[in-house]
Amino acid sequence: MTVNLSNFRKDYTKNSLLESEVPKEPFQLFDNWFQQEKSFYQEKDDEEINAMSISTIGEDGCPETRVVLLKEYSENGFIFYTNYYSLKGRGIQNTPKVCISFYWKNMERQIIIKGVTSKVQKNKSDEYFHNRPIGNKIGSWASRQSMIISSKEYLLKQYNKWKNFFNKQIIRRPFYWGGYIVKPYKMEFWQGQPNRLHDRLVYFLEKEKKWILYRLSP
């Protein structure tokens, strides 16, 4: 089966990205863009503008990409939470360098970030886990993420087992679940432009811990 998608086209016209208009460090520009996208949706709960793709290197040497939710960002990096024994967790353990990306269609923007990943402190993972909905907490115990299971019924049985086990008790964080922080060394900001002449500005962190800025051809 062949499906021709050559007529799927869009021209980008909403914004531009100029060196003279951006801050010296990338985190401020990231925050500016995030807040603009957030304002457009007026904080609607069903718009996950914090959704990001993360690519790790799998055990077969091939990149593996999936969508996770960004839970915190600052000048120190970008934090998300997952099962440490998942495919992404095992990939990070073997190769800590990852690539994360955001696509915000409303503002016709992308951000691509390369960085080095490490676990956050245990007390930070504990704090975040404590504030999760109860069902999500139980799900973290019920699911051995990325492991082969016999059926969906098996997964639901595991969920009910752990639900009954805790039964109004405080649900502690599993030792195999927690946060990662991605500390970037390269951040590319992509702004769609007419005629596919897109703006691409890159911040690169030099050894002296100083960010340099340059433009890429589209």
Residues serving a catalytic function are: 196
Give the C-alpha separation, 51 to 54, whole Å.
10
Q: Is 153 helix (H, G, I), strand (E, B) or coil?
A: helix
Asked whether 180 and 77 are in contact (CB, 8 A), the reply is no
Give the C-alpha separation, 104 to 52, whole Å.
10
State the DSSP string of 57-104: E-TTS-EEEEEEE--EEETTEEEEEEETTSHHHHHHHH--EEEEEEEE
CB count in 10 Å sphere of residue 53: 14
Q: Residue 196 region, left (φ>0) first, then alpha (ψ -120 to 50), else beta? A: left
Asked whether 203 and 211 are in contact (CB, 8 A), the reply is yes
Q: Is 51 helix (H, G, I), strand (E, B) or coil?
A: strand
Token readout for 99 is: 């690539």
CB count in 10 Å sphere of residue 104: 17
